[in-house]
Structure 1
Amino acid sequence: MKFNSLVYLFFLTLLPLIPNAQTTEDSWEWWNNQHGWEPGDPGWRNWMKLTPGYLGPNALPVPQVKKGFIEDFSEVEISFSNHFHSGDPTQDISGRLFIPFANNKIAVEIYGVAIERFAFSETIRDERIARDKDGKGFAVGDFYFSTLVQLSKNRKFPNTLFRFATKTASGNQLEAARYTDSPGYFLDVSFSKQWSTSNNGLLRPFGSVGFYSWQTNDELNLQNDALMYALGTDFEKNTWLVSASWSGYSGYKNKRDRPMQLNFDIQKNIDRKTLRIQYINSLREWGYKSLRFSFIWKFNPA
């Protein structure tokens, strides 16, 4: 009798969980109906498209353009960004740490998005096959670790810099199509040459070429490989720097994996601090217009 009572109490305890389990199962019914998913089909992760044109603005961005040389100071940078998109307005706070050493022959750089706020439309949600029904929330971004090696500087040959960077899978909210939840890497070589102008300014054309690769959910082709490129020019005078560049990369799958953009950058140096404003305008497939405000602290190199 005592045993039967314990069994009864056990099932009585489990009873409230049964409706919850059913509710959890039913909560994805809208997604199943929207995309025609049926039992036995591949899981929802396999339906998503891990390319920059089907994800949030920080998932697979075009890497920041390097200019052929390692900066003279260690830097700590905090940035506030607003990404304008009619169906996916996004804001974020990001950080960067840059440390040169070995007489500025080598440097390490760590950066990433600390927090991202998003609010996308139903149209964007369904296009990206996202499973976040209301399309609103917060996400933590991927972090990048890169090593830079100065190959040539202040010689007849152009300044030449090699960079190798890895992308972690720290970003969350894959179900909201914000990040890939997969690793990647890129490498490039950048070049620049500078000339003095008649008004005591400095003109610096620069460019780079490289390779970008990231893991996908395609079982037949587990990674996407892309040619990475950039061209631009700096104009520097006194404590001001104005820069414009064109950059992007081209994946081989041709499924919105070929983002291209224009970058505009204005910096004002105040002692060992820098105020920076950047504007990024998408030309192809990425789809965002971004405005970024940064504050940079500079320190003596290690």
Structure 2
Amino acid sequence: MKRLIFFTLACFSIVCAQAQEDWSWWNETHGWESGMPGWRSFLTISPGYLGPNALPVPDVANGLLEKAKSVKLSSDFHFRKGDHTQNLAGRFYFPFSDKIAIEVYGVWLEHYAMSDAIRDERAARDRDGNGLAIGDLYFGTSIQLVKDRKFPNTLVRMVGKTASGRPFDAARYSDSPGYFFDFSFSKEVPHLMGRMNGLPFASFGFYSWQTNDMNNLQNDALMYSAGFEFSNEKWTVTNSVSGYSGYKNERDQPAVYTFSAKKALRKNALQFQYICGLHDWKYQTIKIAPGHPIFHRNND
């Protein structure tokens, strides 16, 4: 027992010594010295200085409540020079009626590989820049305000963001709560291209998240989107531009272009998305998402 205790204490001492030594590379890189603010203050809580899943531009809303109850799983592949990321994500969506629905979504598991340049630019403390991460959870409610009237279809969406994403010291997630809400509008254009129907849509809203800046603990942003959707019985194709604009000017004004194609199958659906960063969010993303209805019917 004494030998076991001695061995355990020795191993613990070695680990502690190595851990203390490991941070010296970060201290030298960023000029940190004893008495300076902690390492957390060196991180920038902004979409341009974190991983692709930290503060992404929200998926666009098109003014209409989805009808089908569903569970959707996706495989996402994010590409940019110095940071290749892959993740598994999921979404649960449940409409209680044709007026209101709830959803829960987030990244389950993320694998990342950062270059030394990206790691140091973000002040991350992951020395080899490779690892696994768990993403934030989002909880949302959508309410159909107007539908099938002279006034455009109108949907309000309210979503809260948790601070569950880890690891924070690798600059993959923000370790801070946030929320956003938006109003989206659309108007159907039937038989636009033969059997295809058209749906132009736009939205505006507000996005807010907590930062680590003691002088400005919150960043507030105007959120926006615009796009056009084509659909028939089998296919739904969407092109859109969306983003939000923070006020701190710290790569906090991300904008993206999104192409989405969804094919209805016999009992589920398959969706493909391509997302291209236009400003401040520099990734290109491919998402493949099979959707699985909870019930094989709609709420009609």
Q: Structure 2: where are the runs of 5+ without partners? A: none
1:157-182 deviations in whole A, cap 9, x for unaligned? 11000010000011101111100111
In structure 2, the partner of 1:288 is 283
- 1:3 aligned partner: none
| Large movers: runs of 4+ above 3 Å | 10-20
- Give 1:276 deviation, angstroms: 0.5
| 1:43-82 equivalent positions in 2, closer than 5 A | 43-82=38-77
Q: What residue number does 2:126 align with? A: 132
Residue 256 (structure 2) aligns with? 261
| Aligned pair partner of 2:233 in 233, 238, 259 | 238
Aligned residue for 1:222, secondary structure, equals: strand
1:139–1:171: 8 Å Cα contact kept in structure 2?
yes
**Gap change, CA 1:198 and 1:17, over 3 Å in 2:** closer
Aligned residues: 294
Whether the aligned pair in 2 keeps the contact of 1:99 and 1:301 (CA below 8 Å) is no
CA distance in 1, matches of 2:11, 2:90: 45
Task: Note closer, same or farther for the CA distance 1:112–1:43 as it changes in structure 2 (3 Å cut).
Answer: same
TM-superposed deviation, 1:104: 1.4
Q: TM-score, normalised by structure 2?
A: 0.94
% identical aligned pairs: 51
The 5-angstrom pairing of residues 65-144 of structure 1 reads 65-101=60-96, 103-144=97-138
Displacement of 1:271 in angstroms is 2.8
Deviation at 1:24, TM superposition (A): 1.8
1:100–1:301 CA contact under 8 A, matched in 2: no
Task: Report the 3-state secondary structure (helix = DSSP H, G, I; strand = E; otherwise coil) of the residue aligned with 1:89.
Answer: strand
Q: 1:40 to 1:104 in 2, by over 3 A?
A: same
CA-to-partner distance for each residue in 1:80-109, whole Å, 9 max, x for gaps? 0100111000000000011001x3100001
1:191 maps to what in 2? Answer: 185
- Matched position secondary structure for 2:44: coil
Mind listing any 5+ residue stretches in structure 1 that lack a counterpart? 1-5
Q: Equivalent residue for 1:227?
A: 222
Secondary structure, in 3 states, of the residue corresponding to 1:227?
strand
Cα 1:212–1:12 shift into 2, 3 Å: closer
**Residue 188 of structure 2 corresponds to residue 176 of structure 1:** no
2 CA distance for matches of 1:13 and 1:109?
Answer: 47
Output the CA distance in 2 between the equivalents of 1:295 and 1:51: 30
- 1:251 corresponds to which letter in structure 2? G
Q: C-alpha root-mean-square deviation of aligned residues, in Å?
A: 1.8
The structure 2 residue matched to 1:211, chosen from 201, 206, 222, is 206
Q: How many angstroms does 1:14 deviate by? A: 4.9
TM-score (norm 1): 0.93
| Pairwise CA distance, 1:18 | 4.0
**What amino acid sits opposite 2:154 in the alignment?**
T
> How has the CA–CA distance of structure 1 residues 155 and 26 changed in structure 2, closer, same or farther, with 3 Å as cutoff?
same
- How far apart in 2 are the matches of 1:78 and 1:12? 46
1:21 deviates by 2.7
Q: Which amino acid aligns with 2:50?
A: L
Instruction: Tell me the SS of whatever aligns to 1:235.
Output: strand
**CA distance in structure 2 between the aligned counterparts of 1:295 and 1:201, rounded to whole angstroms:** 23
1:32 aligns with 2:27: yes
Compared CA separation, residues 12 and 122, structure 1 to 2 (3 A): closer
- When residues 17 and 141 of structure 1 are mapped into structure 2, their CA distance, relative to the original with a 3 A threshold, is closer
Aligned to 1:158: 152
Q: Secondary structure of the equivalent of 1:34? A: helix
Q: Distance in 1 between matches of 2:11 and 2:189?
A: 75
Change (3 A) 1:200 1:256: same
For 2:290 and 2:11, how far apart are their aligned partners in 1? 52
Opposite residue 225 of structure 1, the aligned amino acid is D
